[in-house]
Chain A
Amino acid sequence: MSDKLDSKIPAGPLESKWTRRKSEIRLVSPNNKRKMEIIVVGTGLGGASAAASLGELGYNVKIFCISDSPRRAHSIAAQGGINAAKNYQNDNDSVYRLFYDTIKGGDYRSREANVYRLAEVSAAIIDQCVAQGIPFAREYGGYLANRSFGGVQVSRTFYARGQTGQQLLLGAYASLNKEVSYGTVKSYPRHEMLDLVVVNGQAKGIIARNLVTGALERFGAHAVVIATGGYGNAYFLSTNAMNSNGSAAMQCYRKGAFFANPCFAQIHPTCIPVHGDQQCKLTLMSESLRNDGRIWVPKKIEDVQRLRKHEIKPSQIPEEDRDYYLERRYPAFGNLVPRDVASRAAKERCDAGFGVNETGKAVFLDFADAINRLGRQRVAERYGNLFEMYEKITDSSPWEEPMMIYPAIHYTMGGIWVDYDLQTTIPGLYAIGEANFSDHGGNRLGASALMQGLADGYFILPVTIGDYLSNKFAEPKTDVNSPEFNATEKAVQARIDRLFAIKGTKTVDSIHKHLGNIMWDYVGMARDAEGLKKAIEEIRKLKKDFYENVNVPGSQYEFNQELEKALRLEDFFDIGELMARDALNRAESCGGHFRVESQTEEGEAKRDDANFMYVAAWEYKGEDREPELHKEELKYEFIEVKTRNYKE
């Protein structure tokens, strides 16, 4: 292991690690908590739950978001559900099984101790959310209802129709509002973090731009928590919200926080296919649909051609002429294989010429069987809003004809490197939720993002951060007029001035689209060494083009969305390059990362445990220098590492 990376995993048996760590953590007394300030950046499930919990503990919290309200954070768009090892269905679920499924689903590239802790606190998340008044789906007897998600064989997913993320976020947001009303949390909407301030090697504050006035503002604290989500928008087209970005993570990276496994991006199998060049955003259809929907393409190429010419409707193709390829290839899990497996299988069929729409990039997700089996009313209760949403977008009704779906970028498992306490390589800087890397390895299972965001925010960070803060109460408040704040603000100002000075002719979006094409073509669902090298070269060229030819209209001191986008795009270049570099280094296939050179005869991903069973943590070395790779070896002490098999 690199001497710079200490994961601080507690010793002892797996089941007692978290209890042991909690008992070792030093406490901060209530009167000292009142003297301490914590900055939380981001108001999704991780950020909102962390800020609310820290406020409840008595710390002074400042929380920042780029939207007009904390409630807009992209967690709100999560549809299907949240996992928890409650075993309410008595189907032999347990903390161990949730842990095991998550490790296996992540293709043995996540950290054992962190994942076990995630499974361990999962049940308490449901208790907390119910106590907040979240209207989860219920059985007629009043008990909580469950459903299944990909990669598992039990029903442990709790849900609120197809709006689970919305309801969980509104719960966390309500707790946040409670703390705002008590004065422990101060909320700064329409503020964007533009740099981290490090003083004597410790995170002490941020520089943020007030998006309404355009002014740069300084905020000091005893610790900083990054909860700004993932970086999937490097691909331009993704299921992420339009404003989701990886800039805060990149700012931390450039200030010395290591960035782990950047190449692990999840491509979600069930998204509405691209309709044309004018599109800027892809829409996800929840994985929960795979509980009852069956995925297929025609067996005969003639049927494919007739479908593309609109000569026949999908429902007219007889049962025997349909290829339910997931059920065929993976009989044990069928339509509920993990996302990476389902996405690659869809690509395989479409590459073979069986894509069912004009672009050749779509497969069917069919509910006819479910409607016959369950009746329209029960299907509507489970998926009604998703069916409506699909129909609004595509003008085609899933009640009549199957949905058309295709994989799209959805989530990033990689992120800022953190230790067991969720602290980064910069003391006092923490990263939680999608912004860190630790729990999902090479592939995240469905309904686990919400679980991780809330586990980090409600139960883990508020405890572990105390250990760092316990000897800081005697320190004075951070002085925002210190030389470090002056220098950091000056550097941010120079970055903004540079953008306005270019006065080129290309729009930010047109360059971002170009970046997206490079990413999708070379760092997408199938990657090879040659393509990845090309990606690095192309991204560098594009970045140069950006600095010569971009046009950022308007000025700094106004509400200026083009400036916001330009600043984020600068960081997407660096993320894109880092992703390609990491993908090039990882010459194995694993989880969502598929290297063409590393596959079995059947075309399944082939892992290389002998050479790559490690976390790749990248250290920034300067603008024009290659980053340095540090390896955190992954040791599996409590489970046997196997080849993932969803066939039997």
Chain B
Amino acid sequence: MDFNLKIWRQKNAKTKGHFETYHISGIEEDASFLEMLDILNEQLIREGCDPVAVERGCRSSGPVSFDHDCREGICGACGLFIDGRAHGPDEHVTTCQLFMRHFKDGATITVEPWRSSAFPVIKDLVVDRTAFDKILQAGGFISVRTGAAQDANNILIPHDRAEESMDAAACVGCGACVATCKNGSAMLFVAARVSSLALLPQGRPEAKRRAKAMVAKMDELGFGNCTNTRACELECPKGISVSHIARLNREFLKAKFSD
């Protein structure tokens, strides 16, 4: 398969970015999107050190930087805005699990980083998501020391409740919800953590405090507000439901009323 790739290039956080377009050919339809970018990078590096190509006016900015790691859809490192959609055209996948068979041969594909003021660009398609760590550090945990805990089966949790908690806990922290939201809100990310813990007896004692602290940190870091458009749910690679946002709101309001 052949493609034209229109890719966002930006040297660092301080410089302005621009698009560059590259042609790539001979891609297998079973190749993943990131494998295609690997092949493009091989091509760009070769051109960069080929004197003929340089003389021809090859003006590439070198290989394209992008975050990736496990390539199994679970680490949450990858995240590209492809043809206007977080993680591209396939449903419920991370970018690394997107395959070229979902594109038309000869298509022009636009590739951008997550756009959010809370996620500044580091280089090209790589953004800084430490804001997510900071939100979790504000309260996304159980604050007790758990090293000498009681026997695990002393805490009974009904099957369906554990499953619902697991649905929320499946969040990979990729940031697609923020990139998709017109307000740049991190509500789905925050809700997934708050809800997962609030559903379990271990997380109940601190549920209200946790919700309040994490929402406050989210606001402080420059994420926007949630206006219930549900776009985040559609683009979440793990299909995390906005019903968890409702649970977050309940915990948040309870905390406000008890203040």
Q: Which of A458-514 contact B (CB under 8 A)?
A: 458-459, 503-505, 507, 509-510
**Interfacial residues of chain B within 139-157, with CB under 8 A of chain A in the complex:** 139-153, 155-157
20 other contacts beyond A124-B147, A131-B202, with CB at 8 A cut-off? A69-B130, A128-B146, A133-B203, A135-B163, A138-B163, A142-B158, A144-B152, A163-B170, A166-B170, A175-B141, A175-B146, A242-B68, A242-B70, A275-B31, A279-B35, A283-B72, A392-B93, A504-B49, A561-B63, A561-B65
Residue-wise, chain B 143-182 has the 8 Å CB interface mask toward A (1 for contact) of 1111111111101111100110110011011000000000
Given A133-B203, A142-B156, A561-B65, A71 and B76 touching (CB < 8 A)?
Answer: yes
Known contacts A278-B39, A393-B97; is A77 also within 8 Å of B137 by CB?
no
> Does B136 contact A174, Cβ atoms closer than 8 Å?
yes
Total interface residues in chain B, CB < 8 Å: 80
Contacts A133-B202, A163-B74 given; indicate if A189 touches B149 (C-beta within 8 A): no
Does B109 count as interface, using CB distance less than 8 angstroms? no
Return 5 A-B CB contacts under 8 Å, by A number.
Answer: A68-B130, A74-B75, A163-B166, A177-B136, A278-B27
CB distance from A422 to the nearest CB of B (A): 17
Residues of A within 8 A of B144 (CB): 131
Please measure, in the bound complex, the distance between the C-alpha atom of A243 and the C-alpha atom of B12, giving whole angstroms.
22
Which residues does B use to contact A, with CB under 8 Å? 11-12, 27-28, 30-31, 35-36, 38-39, 41-42, 45-46, 48-50, 62-63, 65, 67-77, 90, 93, 97, 99, 101, 122-123, 126, 128-130, 132-133, 136-153, 155-159, 162-163, 165-166, 169-170, 172-173, 196-197, 200, 202-203
Given A144-B153, A509-B42, does the pair A56, B71 have CB atoms closer than 8 Å?
A: no
Interface residues of A in 125-170 (CB under 8 A from B): 126-144, 160-161, 163, 165-167, 170
Closest partner residue, chain A, to B169 (CB atom): A135
Pairwise interchain contact A551-B45, C-beta atoms closer than 8 A: yes
- The listed residue (A67, A127, A137, A173) touching B77 by CB distance below 8 A is A67
Whole-angstrom distance between the Cβ of B220 and the nearest chain A Cβ: 14
Complex Cα gap A462–B211 (Å): 31
Question: In the complex the two chains form, is B150's CB within 8 Å of A559's CB?
Answer: no
Q: Who on chain A is nearest to B198 by CB?
A: A133
Q: Mark A254-268, 1 if CB is under 8 A from B, else 0.
A: 000000000000000
Cβ contact within 8 Å between A74 and B70: yes
Residues of B contacting A166 in the complex (Cβ-Cβ under 8 angstroms) = 74, 170, 172
B49, A553: Cβ atoms closer than 8 Å? yes
Bound-state Cα–Cα, A88 to B158, Å:
17
- Give the most central of B46, B144, B147, B165: most A CB within 10 Å: B147
State A189–B141 Cα separation when bound (angstroms): 19
Give A395's nearest chain B residue, CB to CB. Answer: B101
- For the complex of A and B, the 8 pairs showing the least CB-CB separation, nearest first, are A142-B156, A131-B149, A174-B141, A131-B146, A130-B152, A135-B165, A135-B166, A559-B123
- Chain A residues with Cβ below 8 Å from B133 are 69-71, 177, 187, 189
Interface membership of chain A positions 37-81, coded 1 if the CB is closer than 8 angstroms to chain B and 0 otherwise: 000000000000000010010000000000111111110110000
Contact of A280 among B38, B46, B158 (CB under 8 A): B38
Candidates B46, B97, B130, B143; contact of A507 at CB < 8 Å: B46
Report Cα–Cα, A74/B70, bound state, in Å. Answer: 7
Distance in Å from the Cβ of B166 to the closest Cβ of chain A? 4
Check B149 against A130 for contact (C-beta < 8 Å).
yes
For B49, list chain A residues within 8 Å (CB): 503-505, 551, 553
**Bound-complex Cα distance A29 to B151 (A):** 29
- Chain A residues contacting B97 (CB-CB under 8 Å) are 389, 392-393
Scoring A395, A510, A553 by chain B CB atoms within 10 A of each residue's CB, the highest score goes to A553
The answer to whether A174 and B140 touch across the interface, beta carbons within 8 angstroms, is yes
Q: Whole-angstrom distance from the CB of A237 to the nearest CB of chain B?
A: 11
Q: Does A558 contact B (CB under 8 A)?
A: yes
Across the interface, which residues of A come within 8 angstroms of B165, CB to CB? Answer: 135
Cβ-based interface call for A554 (8 A): yes
Contacts of A140 in B (CB 8 A): 158-159
In the complex the two chains form, what is the Cα distance from A135 to B169 in whole Å?
Answer: 8
A582-624 near B? 1/0 per residue, CB < 8 Å: 0000000000000000000000000000000000000000000
A101 within 8 A of B: no
Q: Please, how many angstroms separate the alpha-carbon atoms of A562 and B143 in the complex?
A: 40
Is A200 engaged at the interface, CB distance under 8 Å to the other chain? no
Which A residues are in CB contact (< 8 Å) with B35? 278-281
* Given known A-B contacts A86-B152, A276-B28, A181 and B137 have beta carbons under 8 A apart: yes
